[in-house]
Structure 1
Amino acid sequence: MAIRRLTQASPAEITALAATLAEAFENYPWTCWTVDSERHEARLAAIQRLYLEHVGLPYGEVWTDDRLECAAVLVQPGPIELDPGLQKKLSELHGEAGHRLQTRLPQPPPAAWTLATIGVAPDIQGNGLGSALLEAMLQHADAYGRRIALETSSDRNLAFYRRRSFVVWAVTEMPDGGPMVWSMIREPVSGAAA
């Protein structure tokens, strides 16, 4: 399995990666709370497709394997400008549950890159692909001295990230029966090779 960083992606790759992420996050606490349940997976795929195309590639890095069975997005520090039409489309895709996205989470340090998403196709989860993907990304980040922040709403993920030197710096209980969200940070490991 070859892990690679996409500097650009074809529409077919973006569509396939969006479908992989939609499957991976279909039952994830955060997406279940912020995306309407009606046509949930189709909504997720459309959201992921727009996010990959309009945020991941232009404002960060998109990583995947040679079979497009996993995907991750690492977003650079700084503001992201989204076209008002795109914001409207994303709001429509989230549906009634989308208002919950306005709930504020603690902001990571300003210089931190954000691991916005990482997912593996459900039928091959547990085979080490997610670990290989994250480790390739982190090795690259370490080579450039990047601090990485992330949020997870699954307590199962805590050990996965802790094994890779992430530490919890904030815990937020979301309102309206929402999930617990753990904010994590990882300092660059010195001496890592590119």
Structure 2
Amino acid sequence: MCEHTQAAAAFWVPPKAQAKAVPDAETIQQLLTVLGDRAPLFRDAVETAAKHTPQEPWYMAMIGADPAAQGQGHGAALLRSGPAEADAAGLPVYLESFEPSNLAFYEHFGFTVREELRLPGGGPALWGMWRGPAGSH
């Protein structure tokens, strides 16, 4: 499910669709071409993250805003409205962040750090964050 404002977008994956959210062969080939020698490192990082992504919650796969519009509430609007279907179903929401500066932002919306991973090959830290269904946090 893609949700957006005029300057931001978020991609939410419901539990039953997570297996379908993998890229097709053409997209994978394009990624390999773009990544070149770094493709194996990228693959290892994705596999490491996937091993730690819980399957039962809704998953916020991506959120981003136009840099010129950051700080204007677009991301906040998406984080308030996006989990509504998960809340209605009584399910938690999971997200991952590579940016330590974003952790407090997500915590403001009820997310807590569930784990911190170090990606292979000297990759960055990845924080897995969890938010229980409405009324549980």
Using structure 1 for the length normalisation, give the TM-score: 0.60
In the aligned structure 2, how far is the partner of 1:178 from the partner of 1:82? 22
RMSD: 2.0
1:160–1:185: structure 2 CA closer, same or farther, 3 Å change rule? same
Q: CA deviation at 1:111?
A: 1.0
Paired residue for 2:31?
90
Q: CA deviation at 1:92?
A: 1.9
Q: Per the alignment, in what secondary structure is the counterpart of residue 79 of structure 1?
A: helix
In the aligned structure 2, how far is the partner of 1:149 from the partner of 1:169? 9
Q: 1:119 and 2:64 equivalent?
A: yes
Q: Is the contact between residue 58 and residue 86 of structure 2 (CA under 8 Å) also seen in structure 1? A: no
Paired residue for 2:132?
187
Give structure 1 stretches of 5+ with no counterpart.
1-60
Paired residue for 2:81?
136
Q: Is the contact between residue 147 and residue 185 of structure 1 (CA under 8 Å) also seen in structure 2? A: yes
Paired residue for 1:51?
none
CA deviation vs aligned residue, 1:112-153 (integer Å, no higher than 9, x gap): 121111001001101111111111112343123232111101
1:72 is aligned with what amino acid?
A
Paired residue for 1:76?
14
Task: Give the structure, 1 or 2, with the largest relative contact order (CA under 8 Å, sep 6 or more).
Answer: 2
In the aligned structure 1, how far is the partner of 2:35 from the partner of 2:92? 30
In the aligned structure 2, how far is the partner of 1:86 from the partner of 1:185? 29
In the aligned structure 1, how far is the partner of 2:36 from the partner of 2:25? 17
Q: 1:155 and 2:100 equivalent?
A: yes
Q: What percent of counterpart residues are identical?
A: 32
In the aligned structure 2, how far is the partner of 1:172 from the partner of 1:94? 22
In the aligned structure 1, how far is the partner of 2:70 from the partner of 2:63? 12
